[in-house]
Homo-oligomer: A and B are copies of this chain.
Amino acid sequence: MNVESFFSKTTKEALKNDPPGEWMPLLPDDCIRLSSGFPDPQLVPVEPIGEAVDRLLKDERDLPLHYLGSPAMEKLKEQIQKRSIERGMRVTEEELLITAGACQAIDLIARILIDEETVVAIESPTYMEALEVFQNYTTHFMSIPIDEGGLQTNLLEEMLAERKKAGLSMPRFLYTIPTFHNPTGTSMKEERRKHVLELAEKYNFLILEDDAYGELHFNKQSTSLKELDTQGRVLHVGSLSKVVAPGMRIGWIAAAPAFITALAWFKKDLDHPFAEATMASYLESINLEKRLETLRATYHAKCSVLLDALKQYLPTKAISWYVPEGGYFVWIKVEGVDTVDLLSDALKEGVSYVPGKFFFLDQQEGKEYLRLSFSYANQEEIVEGVKKLGKVMERILS
């Protein structure tokens, strides 16, 4: 029996790509993980979540363990709506859908918007998991470079104009992480945010705004594209993974009601009553704004430690980076070095990072880049990790 013969066309097509997630070698146990985009373990609210479960099961008994109809679960939506409004977004109940993390959100959006021949505009580089999701639906992409001011909207405009002129298919949506971008740590400048919305109107495309890191600013809050959107073109994806705990898998989509209806259709019964009710019970017990302040201060401090260490321990020639204003990541260019080759040396030395190539549609473009994360390792590990990385780089560059 030939298993492959039963696969759908899109499955056969998707399986031609590299398997998703298989983008890192196994890390040795004692390796300093500057690769992991996980929250700081000290900031994961272990006891409070345990207490939230106890309270929830005491108050609601079996309700959150059934399939539908826990009052706490309903409350989660209100909490997220309230927070969105506090941030300046206009979001009604009909404009909000809770999802199992940002990943399910992105997948659902891909599902309702992408046909086999659909063109998707992406940033270059971009979040690899989102790219892999889109590649499950289409092979047609338009890739727009990023600089320290985020997406280069002037280049986007040129490319759109050229496509239009050449009679090519126009993108159905743009996937962007405008604030504390993964992997580059950059944020889209205010005027570019306005520009990209103008372009969306002029060329009639939608915007999938991935805002997973949006609350984690070091200095000032950015204006989300959703706040600037007057036409309902922005599908805003939020997540509590970076702010509370990724293992809870709580995310959401804020978008015009007609989108939410279609998204809910394909989401169907994929609700997670226990996880959602637990999160609501937890959120009710804390002051979220205060928690966010702690998170921002901690990550800001860790980022500063990383940046200082980079200056102190990396070779001065051939190396450059963007200074992030929030989020989890620093994006580094090592001219003339293949960062995939460098990784095996780094792992031997005891430090990990993510090679840049995994963040590009055309992986060749990412050859000289790497992503460091300051979120997971502690300050001492960060310094130690950068020292190790510096040693490996000295060797390869000399």
Contact = CB atoms under 8 A, between A and B. Distances in A.
Contact of A66 (B44, B62, B129, B265): B44
Most buried by B among A46, A118, A132, A133: A46
A270 B100 contact: yes
B61 A57 contact: no
B65 A247 contact: yes
Nearest to A376: B66
A52 to B, nearest CB: 9
A345 B10 CA distance: 48
Interface string A31-43: 0000000110100
Contact of A245 (B100, B103, B133, B274): B274
A346 B365 CA distance: 66
A212 to B, nearest CB: 12
Given A20-B265, A107-B268, A265-B15, A57 B62 contact: no
Contacts of A380: none
Given A246-B65, A247-B274, A270-B100, A232 B136 contact: no
A6 B67 contact: no
B232 A249 contact: no
Interface in A17-59: 19-21, 38-39, 41, 44-47, 49-50, 53-54, 57
Contacts of A114: 8
Interface string A160-203: 00000000000011000000000000000000000000000000
Contact of A256 (B3, B46, B241): B3
Given A7-B262, A8-B118, A46-B57, A129 B269 contact: yes
A54 B51 CA distance: 8
A239 to B, nearest CB: 11
Nearest to A58: B50
26 contacts: A1-B204, A6-B173, A6-B206, A7-B113, A8-B113, A10-B115, A11-B112, A11-B262, A11-B265, A19-B261, A19-B265, A20-B268, A21-B268, A44-B65, A46-B61, A49-B65, A54-B54, A100-B100, A107-B270, A245-B274, A247-B277, A249-B271, A272-B272, A274-B275, A274-B278, A275-B275
Interface of A: 1, 3-4, 6-11, 14-15, 19-21, 38-39, 41, 44-47, 49-50, 53-54, 57, 61-62, 64-67, 70, 100-101, 103-104, 107, 111-115, 118, 129, 132-133, 136, 172-173, 204, 206, 231-233, 241, 245-249, 256, 258-259, 261-262, 265-266, 268-275, 277-278
